Structure 1
Amino acid sequence: MAIKVLIADDDILIREGLKIILGLDSEFEVVGCVSNGLEALEMCIEETVDVALLDVRMPVMNGVQAVREIAMKTTTKTLILTTFDEDEYIFEALKNGARGYLLKNNSPDKIKDAIKTVFGGNIVMQDVILDKVTQGFKTSRQDKVPKGDTFTEREIDVVKAISEGLSNKEISNKLYISEGTVKNYITSILNKTGLKHRTQIAIYYLQGEI
């Protein structure tokens, strides 16, 4: 079954270009092209969208805001695809629940691979983005996430696996536990940290805050 993709970008050339590229591949089905974050949110609510490709800078509602609303109100996975790699955009998008952050200068094949990776439940961050995350950039968060001694040994194993971009199924296979148990561990980790998404867990671990 083809991955249902939504393209949100205020540049019509980018929208149409991506639509053509993805449309030529039977693994994808472009269910819509929109020009702002609000339209993206509305389509994700009204239609079945597996992965939403979102630019950062869009009118009405930008990509960072759209990520938050889509994560809260739908089951759609979001992937930022933009030309901007400013720290504030990266962190806010990932904090709001984006499953990945990719720059538009990537090849069509890499963009398609990223969509498939996100659809499969994993996280996508190219090197330049991961470098910014691991180097630690300033955030608006005042409270530190609890350190490692707050977690059980198994929870730390799950945190490390999440930071490697593994899906629940892959974590289950790696740690020899059921997917249900993995979900329970993730829920416990989120409750202890006050975080909302698995991507945030990966970010804080890579920054040495877990």
Structure 2
Amino acid sequence: MIRIVVADDQELVRSGFAMILDAQDDIEVVAEVGDGAQAVGAVREHRPDVLLLDIRMPVMDGIEAARQVCAAGETKVLMLTTFDQDDYVYEALYAGASGFLLKDVRRDDLVHAVRVVAAGESLLAPSVTRRLISDLTATRPAGAPGVSASERLAALTARETEILTLMGRGMSNAEIAGELVVSEHTVKTHVSKVLSKLGLRDRVQAVICAYETGLVG
């Protein structure tokens, strides 16, 4: 059972998301809260698998709430917003968020996102991914690798570097397994090693790393 806390300052939005999620056989909404400070408190009290968190919150904004939650434990943070500007994306991702969805997300996509993030993977709305990749590409000099790329990647084996490259292209574990003709379990093992060696929290940060180091352009 996936345990989730829903945090949004708009009651109708909050209750709507909670109702959709709680109706799933494998998801239980353990708390609904209306500001960032309450979100942090609810996570401490209930220790959910996922915190569904609005990026714009009173008392404590969603970015700071995400930062505290991600630093304190194993709860995954899935951000919700009506905006998809780059600054929000970067702040949320570097705070440790595992996913980023726009509030006009479809019901099925919301449920899918919660399951994906709870499983330890990451998820970005397509428009957010496009903005993220576009900005990373634009800020890195054409034809040049990212800063300290060789040092950052030195700890990886050739296979792990290949895995990181495919992750940077947005491929899932199953797609990577098909591309390399290996088992999905083998891919998961390599992904875990890549994240551990590079000090990355999840696949979202791995995508950022792949672009920053020039593996993907």
User: How big is the shift at 1:165?
Assistant: 5.9
Q: How many percent of aligned residue pairs carry the same amino acid?
A: 31
Say which SS state the counterpart of residue 149 (structure 2) adopts. Answer: coil
Q: Secondary structure at the match of 1:136?
A: helix
From 152, 164, 175, the equivalent of 1:159 is 164
Q: Which 10-residue stretch deviates more, 143-152 or 37-46? A: 143-152
Conservation of the 8 A alpha-carbon contact between 2:195 and 2:201: no
Displacement of 1:124 in angstroms is 0.7
What does residue range 178-189 of structure 1 map to in structure 2 within 5 Å? 179=189, 182-189=191-198
Q: Structure 1: state its 5+ residue gaps.
A: none
Note if contact 1:160-1:205 (Cα within 8 Å) is conserved in structure 2: yes
Give the corresponding residue for 1:38.
Answer: 37
State the alpha-carbon separation in 2 of the partners of residues 125 and 98 from structure 1.
10
State the Cα distance separating 1:82 from its structure 2 match.
1.2
**Relative to structure 2, which stretch is displaced further, 127-136 or 158-167?**
158-167
Aligned 8 A contact 1:36 1:60 in 2: yes
Change (3 A) 1:177 1:102: closer
Greater mean alpha carbon deviation, residues 152-161 or residues 16-25 = 152-161
* CA-based RMSD: 2.8
Q: 1:124 to 1:145 in 2, by over 3 A?
A: farther
Identify which range, 199-208 or 44-53, moves more after superposition. 199-208
Contact 2:195 2:202 in 1 (8 A): no
The TM-score with structure 1 as length reference comes to 0.82
Cα offset, 1:152, TM superposition:
3.1
**Cα distance, 1:41–1:173 mapped onto 2, change above 3 Å:** farther
Which of 183, 192, 199 is the equivalent residue of 1:173? Answer: 183
In structure 2, C-alpha distance between the alignment counterparts of 1:68 and 1:13, rounded to whole Å: 26
- Residues 1:50 and 1:135: Cα distance change in structure 2 (over 3 Å): same
Q: Where do 5+ consecutive residues of structure 2 fail to align?
A: 140-145
Partner of 1:127: 126
What is the CA–CA distance in structure 1 between the aligned matches of 2:34 and 2:188, rounded to whole Å?
A: 41
1:186 aligned partner, one-letter code = L
Map of 1:146 onto structure 2 = 149
Instruction: State the secondary structure of the residue aligned to 1:176.
Output: helix
SS in 2 for 1:106: coil
Conserved 8 A contact 1:155-1:189: no
1:165–1:48 Cα change, 3 Å: farther
Give the drift of 1:156: 0.8
Deviation at 1:174, TM superposition (A): 4.0
The residue number in structure 2 matching 1:118 is: 117
Q: In the aligned structure 2, how far is the partner of 1:23 from the partner of 1:158?
A: 35
Q: Note if contact 2:89-2:128 (Cα within 8 Å) is conserved in structure 1.
A: yes
Counterpart check, 1:200 vs 2:171: no
2:58 is equivalent to residue 53 of structure 1 = no
Cα gap change, 1:12 to 1:145, in 2 (>3 Å): farther
Q: Kindly indicate whether the alpha-carbon contact (under 8 Å) linking 2:121 and 2:202 is maintained by their aligned counterparts in 1.
A: no
Deviation at 1:166, TM superposition (A): 4.3
**8 Å CA contact retained: 1:64, 1:93:** yes
Shift, 1:129, TM fit: 0.6
Is residue 25 of structure 2 the alignment partner of residue 26 of structure 1? yes
Aligned to 1:81: 80
Deviation at 1:177, TM superposition (A): 6.8
* 2:9 is the counterpart of 1:10: yes
Match of 2:142 in 1: none
Give the corresponding residue for 2:64. 65
